[in-house]
Amino acid sequence: MNPGRLRHRIAIERKISTRSATTGELTETWELVDEVWAQISPLSARDFIAAQAVQSEMTGRILLRWRNDLLPTMRVRALDTGVIYRIHGEPMPDNRSGREWLTLLVSTGVSDGA
């Protein structure tokens, strides 16, 4: 993989819950974990059909450098467009060393990554 293909800047975010000291109301917000370079690619029709088998509206893949702190409960926000992607399943490591690249299967829609 050529690092020059990582041309999209993304924000990796995690959900946090805070409780109001005055009302006790629980509020969920998204906290920035990191900003990194990535490649965002749409899925082919075949990938979309395969994704439908698991009842998931898959719209893309995100390729980024390997890291060990990504969880399916997190979300990705494209910083140039503001599009929010929900991560589906565990990040997939590369086939060579398993520690160079990660592939995230993602979808976008009304859930805002929730």
Which pLDDT tens digits describe the chain residue by residue (114 residues)? 566 789 999 999 999 998 888 888 889 999 999 999 999 998 754 555 555 554 445 578 999 999 999 999 999 999 999 989 999 999 999 888 888 999 999 988 655 555
Question: Does residue 66 fall inside a structural domain?
Answer: yes
Read off the CATH number of the domain in which 78 is found: 2.40.10.270
80: in domain: yes
- Residue 113 in domain: no
- Residue count of the chain, please give it: 114
Tokens 């975010």 correspond to 13
Q: How many domains does the chain have?
A: 1
Distance in angstroms (rounded) separating the CA atoms of residues 103 and 80: 20
44 in a domain, yes or no? yes
In a domain, 85, yes or no: yes
> Does the model's pTM come out above 0.85?
no
Q: What range does the domain containing 62 cover?
A: 3-107
Indicate whether 114 belongs to any domain.
no
Cα distance from N-terminal residue to C-terminal residue, the chain:
30
Domain assignment present for residue 112? The answer is no
